[in-house]
Amino acid sequence: MNALEVTRLETRKTMVELIGLGKTFHNKQNQVKALEDINLSIYEGEIFGIIGLSGAGKSTLVRCINLLEMPSAGSVIFDGTDIVTLKQKELLKVRQSMGMIFQQFNLLMQRTALQNICFPLEIAGISKKEAKQRALELLDIVGLSEKANAYPAQLSGGQKQRIAIARALATNPKVLLCDEATSALDPTTTRSILSLLKEINQRTNITVIVITHEMSVIEEICNRVAIIDQSRIAEVGEVEEVFAKPKSKIARQLVFSGAGHIESFTGRHKLRIIFDGRTSFEPVIANMVLECKAPVNILFADTKDIDGKAFGQMIIQLPDDEVSRKKIYAYLQTNKIKNEEVESHVE
């Protein structure tokens, strides 16, 4: 996000503002501070991420935004109104402007997809005819028009979450709260759900607040991110800035988690990759590693870019695992990338 985009963002209307927010849970033995002095401004139309490790307080935070949990201290300003001060009847009306989706979907198992989407509209007093029309529109938006009469047990995880998203959008909310909405889904389905959320945000300008423990989700969809650590906000900023220059210890831990890092690489087999005019913009090695799901170690590289074409050579060390090596050989052959084995003493 460049400086102009940041300026435009900051001149937008503030949709959610948390001021000195705190939440303490009490029991007979002791008290636990789940949130302490949380201060955040979330703008209209942005996709804002809140990330932290397990137990950091992020799920409590999202439940305080719509007052499913009543804060022990501070204010929750929603669309200009401190909703902490509202009476129950007024609060129920405000909650119609806040949709929420959950990790486990929370669909009503005895209702069809269409009936699940109609449910919040029924509570809001909308006529059955209008509710059905709105539900059918939303089924089309989430790409499941053909599943109108299917029950949750007949749907995949991704389809259930799409129905849950449609249900959350039924009352035309101003804010969509997503509490670990993709944690129960596989990576491919996760990407499709995140793409859908981004599309809905762009189409309707709805403010989306994403609660997650996965940096990949933040990177994929969010404009800005707040990192919560031990009940407090450790860092807030544009996603690109936080990823490039994390300031807090917890941000560095989340960004550079070490997951999948290889401390040392051993392999007796070496391969020379020959570049003889392929486009310089093709990430040959990166694509090979991603496709084959096998790491390699670059021992030597001497390549040049000439008019957008790559020339030269690279020597890589292959893993000892035979299956992984065969995948790499097959990938290179299929993509017509010139290569040759080299003796183990060559580096």
Give Cα 232 distance to the centre of its chain: 21
Contact 94, 78 (CB under 8 A): yes
pLDDT in tens, 64-118: 999 999 999 999 999 999 999 999 989 988 988 999 998 888 899 999 999 999 9
- Mean pLDDT in residue range 320-326: 87
Q: Higher model confidence: residue 257 or residue 148?
A: 148
Residue 29, pLDDT above cutoff 90: no
Average pLDDT, the chain: 87
Report d(CA 217, CA 207) in Å as an integer.
16
Confidence of residue 6 (pLDDT cuts 50, 70, 90): low
Q: What is the pTM of this model?
A: 0.75
Report d(CA 47, CA 45) in Å as an integer.
7
pLDDT at 152: 93
Report d(CA 301, CA 275) in Å as an integer.
11
Range 85-101 burial, b when 16+ CB lie within 10 A, else e: ebeeeeeeebbbebbbb
pLDDT at 2: 52
Token duo for residue 81: 């109104």
pLDDT in tens, 219-271: 889 999 999 998 899 999 998 888 888 888 888 888 776 656 666 667 788 89
Q: Coil, strand or helix: which one is 60?
A: helix
Percent of the chain with pLDDT over 70: 93
Report d(CA 200, CA 142) in Å as an integer.
9
Across 32-46, 90-104, 290-304, 309-323, which has the greatest mean pLDDT?
32-46
pLDDT at 347: 40
Could you tell me the domains of the chain? 13-255 (3.40.50.300), 270-342 (3.30.70.260)
pLDDT at 247: 85
Q: How far apart are the first and last CA of the chain?
A: 41
Quote the DSSP letter at residue 318. Answer: P
Report d(CA 273, CA 340) in Å as an integer.
7
Q: Higher model confidence: residue 35 or residue 244?
A: 35
Contact 207, 46 (CB under 8 A): yes
pLDDT at 174: 94
Contact 12, 46 (CB under 8 A): yes
- Dihedral sign of CA atoms 50, 51, 55, 56 in order: negative
Element (H, E) at 20: strand 14-26
pLDDT in tens, 106-121: 899 999 999 999 999 9
